[in-house]
Chains A and B, each alone.
Chain A
Amino acid sequence: DTEVTQTPKHLVMGMTNKKSLKCEQHMGHRAMYWYKQKAKKPPELMFVYSYEKLSINESVPSRFSPECPNSSLLNLHLHALQPEDSALYLCASSHVRTDNSPLHFGNGTRLTVT
């Protein structure tokens, strides 16, 4: 079983909906990430939180809004998404240094925007 838990596993939403993806880890990691992955492609980094502060935003559109309420939780708020935003959204956590610390991923949320 993965130590990073993501909910929901699947989500279908219309372009006018507001929804949230949730991620939780209890490994004591102080870095948390959101990645977006299209089929047959590598994950693409969206956001990095380090010590509960947003440290990287990879020029992600504002219809995606991350939130890190505490060191164990990471949310991704979704609003007015487009069909091309349909993808697998992966949450991950790690120690802050990644030259010697692997990212631990959750099972992902498969998002479909209709």
Chain B
Amino acid sequence: AQKITQTQPGMFVQEKEAVTLDCTYDTSDPSYGLFWYKQPSSGEMIFLIYQGSYDQQNATEGRYSLNFQKARKSANLVISASQLGDSAMYFCAQGDSSNTGKLIFGQGTTLQVKP
């Protein structure tokens, strides 16, 4: 069964510094996608970044980048130049190729940015 593991329940980072949020996954699917979402206290789930299993390069979207290590089955999110508005819960998730439409979420990491 697919599983996503986020080992950091909570993280602190100083404003303007970079932070890495960990995510490991376990799947036997040859084709899969990995996603990161941000959920502020308001509740909306905001899509941040996507990495495909066949992508040769690490995904980047503005201040977000994904450190994808396929052999280690890890897809860590790196946030550069942290801002106070980055304080939120972050979820790693995996989609699969079975066309079920299911998205498997990790338990989440709460990030707090300190001024």
Q: How many residues of B contact A (CB 8 A)?
A: 30
- The digit string for A81-114, where 1 denotes a CB below 8 A from any CB of B, is 0000000101010101111111111111010000
Q: Report the separation of the CA atoms of residues A48 and B98 in the bound assembly, to the nearest whole angstrom.
A: 13
A68 contacts the other chain (CB 8 A) = no
Docked pose: A81 CA to B37 CA in angstroms: 29
Q: Is B43 within 8 A of A88, CB to CB?
A: yes
> B68 near A: Cβ within 8 Å?
no
List residues of chain B with CB within 8 A of the CB of A98. Answer: 33, 95-96, 99-103
Q: How far, in Å, is B60 (CB) from chain A's closest CB?
A: 15
Which of A31, A103, A107 meets B47, CB within 8 Å?
Answer: A103
Tell me the count of chain A residues lying within 8 A, CB to CB, of chain B: 30
B residues adjacent to A (C-beta < 8 A): 29, 31-33, 35, 37, 42-47, 50, 52-53, 89, 91, 95-97, 99-103, 105-108, 110
- Can you show 24 pairs from A to B with CB atoms below 8 A apart? A31-B101, A40-B89, A42-B106, A48-B100, A50-B101, A55-B101, A90-B45, A92-B45, A94-B101, A96-B99, A98-B100, A99-B31, A99-B32, A99-B33, A99-B52, A99-B97, A100-B31, A101-B95, A102-B33, A102-B47, A104-B47, A105-B47, A108-B43, A110-B43
